[in-house]
Amino acid sequence: MLLKLIPEFSNPSVCMKDPQRVQDIMESMAKAGSNTVQVISDFDMTLTRFAYNGKRCPTCHNILDNSDLVSEECKEQLKELLDTYYPIEIDCSRPVDEKLPLMVEWWTKAHALLVQQRIKKDHLALVVRESDAMLRDGYQLFFDHLHEHSIPLLIFSAGIGDILEEVIRQAKVFHPNINVFSNYMDFDDCGVLRAFKGELIHIYNKREGALLNSGHFEELRARPNVLLMGDSLGDLNMADGVQDMENILKIGFLNDKVEERKQSYLDSYDIVLVKDETLVVPNGVLLYLTGNK
């Protein structure tokens, strides 16, 4: 029955622990109508590709780290931080409480190093254009369809908001239905980076970020049905600010270390996409929810 609803679910990358539950959620959301739906998504390695032709694609931080705006010495220091903290981030055996202070440490050190580089705001667009950052295949349909149906898209990212927005703008899909919660750069009057604004958003405090931005969710009170998309277990809390939620369908991209992490993803996400570099499945879900199937 589920395959009849969404033919894209026949894709070999699709794994589900409880297909009946997925069907029930989708039918309930479709019945309520697309004007009750909102989409909450991570950015790096969720809306963007994890790899292309066997080569890792850059995250928002990587785009800057790999650019000419950052000195070789700084690049080495950022690489050392990555090598130290990334294995901790993806280690399923460590409790989140233990990881939390370490993630804050990583992001704080990385941002301090970037501030030292005196990066200029008007150089960011070129850095993005010259990078290997890529939105996932099917992004045009995803962004345009949400816009056409006036479905709000909240992008919740531990990356750099200025870079993230530029990636979407250059793909010509930065529509007015998009809101971004992320780490934004603070530039001085000469357009030079002097700090990062506001509260630090990292991979494991998205719940706090969601609750801090409760005003956004208050405006969307009439949209109690959520499609959530992420690539880490930390992304599962992004919808915690949604008020009076009725249904949530969680799609997780499992990009890396598949065998070690597959079970924990299946236990947490309704649909798990294994090494799938496309938005074909989310698009299939959206087409169904908007009555286009």
Q: How far apart are CA 163 and CA 160, in angstroms?
A: 6
Q: Which domain holds residue 62?
A: 55-130
CB atoms within 10 A of CB 269: 25
Q: Is the per-residue pLDDT at 57 higher than 70?
A: yes
Q: What is the pLDDT of residue 234?
A: 85
Q: In which residue are the tokens 């994890």 written? A: 50
Same domain, residue pair 197 and 78: no
**C-alpha span between 49 and 52 (Å, rounded):** 7
* pLDDT bucket at 208, cuts 50 / 70 / 90: low
Domain match, 140 and 124 both: no
Looking at every residue in the chain, the average pLDDT score rounds to 92
* Pair 79, 187 in one domain: no
- As given in the structure block, the two tokens for residue 149 are 């149906």
Q: For the chain, how many structural domains are there in total? A: 2
**Residue 207: per-residue pLDDT:** 65
Q: pLDDT (tens digit, 9 = 90+) per residue, 226-263?
A: 999 999 988 998 888 788 899 999 999 999 989 989 99
**Pair (171, 67) in one structural domain:** no
- Per-residue confidence (pLDDT) for residue 211, from 0 to 100: 59
Regarding whether 94 and 181 lie in a shared domain, the answer is no
* The domain boundary residue, chosen from 87, 113, 130: 130
Cβ within 8 Å of residue 282, ≥6 positions away: 138, 142, 227, 229, 251
Same domain? For 199 and 65 the reply is: no
**122 and 216 assigned to the same domain:** no
pLDDT of residue 213: 63
Q: What CATH code is carried by the domain that includes residue 115?
A: 1.10.150.340
Strand pairing report for 178-183 and 51-52: unpaired
For residue 219, the model assigns a pLDDT of: 74
How far from each other are the two terminal CA atoms of the chain, in whole angstroms?
14
pLDDT value of residue 169 = 98
Structure token digits, residue 255: 């990009």
The CA-based diameter of the chain, rounded to the nearest angstrom, is 59
- CATH code at 220? 3.40.50.1000
Residue 82 has pLDDT above 80, yes or no: yes
Nearest to 40, CA basis, from 152, 148, 149, 150: 152
Shared domain for 66 and 42, answered yes or no, is: no
Residue 204 has pLDDT above 80, yes or no: no
pTM over 0.75: yes
Do 149 and 276 fall within a single domain? yes
198 pLDDT band (50/70/90 cuts)?
A: confident
One DSSP character per residue, 126-158 reads HHHHHS---BPBTHHHHHHHHHHTT--EEEEEE
Cβ neighbour number for residue 256 with a 10 Å cutoff: 15
**Cα 90 versus chain centre, distance:** 15
The mean pLDDT of 144-160, rounded to a whole number, is 95
Q: What are the catalytic residues? A: 42, 44
Mean pLDDT of 172-181: 96
Q: Based on the fold, state whether residues 89 and 121 are members of the same structural domain.
A: yes
Do 147 and 255 lie in one domain? The reply is: yes
Instruction: Report the DSSP pairing between strands 193-196 and 185-187.
Output: antiparallel
Q: Which residues pair with 250 in a beta bridge?
A: 228
